Amino acid sequence: MSEKKVSLLEGFKAFLMRGNVIDLAVAVVIGAAFTNIVNAVVKGIINPLVGAFGTQDLDNYSSCLQGPCTTNAKTGEMDGIEILWGSVLSATLSFLITAAVVYFLMVLPMAKYLARRAAMQAAKEGVQETIEVSELEVLKEIRDALVAQRTGGAPGQGSGDGPGGAGGTAVGPREDR
């Protein structure tokens, strides 16, 4: 029973202070503002363009499924079954415009940026790996040259300032290797 109970308000405060909750709230607010822009584009540009071929408002496009679709002037009720396909077309166009704007103005540039960044990181890692490999090759060549100098040289053929010692004689391979 040594566990400390977290109060309800402390848990709620921790939930609110997490970064993803704030990000989600910002996304919802931006999405609502963006929806207004898309709706204005549809009503101000798309509907008049479609209206050049028919009515000015897509919501006016409809078909009658059963019976004559007439409105009773006294009651205001519709006689027959009316299919309002114009409003569906308007909502579909709004969705397509929203999806296109999000993709071309947000998703595509971010994907290109992330790909460019990943390529730069891979190139940086490739250069680092190349440097490490070339350093390793140089060290191997030095080792091979030292081993060849120790084993291949006859006494008195050393340079005098190498690993064979200052006396100018080459020392054979070490026994402890």
Mapped onto helix, strand or coil, the DSSP state of residue 83 is strand
How confident is the model over 56-70, as a mean pLDDT?
Answer: 75
Kindly report the average pLDDT of the chain as a whole number: 75
CA pair distance 42, 61, nearest whole angstrom: 15
Higher pLDDT, 82 or 119: 119
The whole-number pLDDT of residue 89 equals 83
Mean pLDDT of 59-71: 77
**pTM here?**
0.46
Weakest mean pLDDT among 37-41, 118-122, 144-148: 37-41
Strands 78-83 and 63-71: antiparallel
15-56 confidence digits (pLDDT tens) = 777 767 777 888 888 888 888 887 787 778 877 777 777 666
Confidence of residue 58 (pLDDT cuts 50, 70, 90): confident
The CA distance from 41 to 34, in Å, is 11
The pLDDT of residue 3:
56
Q: What is the mean pLDDT of residues 137-159?
A: 76
Q: Which residue has the higher pLDDT, 8 or 49?
A: 8
Give residue 165's pLDDT band: very low, low, confident or very high (50, 70, 90).
very low
Taking every pair of C-alpha atoms in the chain, what is the biggest distance, in angstroms?
A: 126
Average of pLDDT values for 78-94? 81
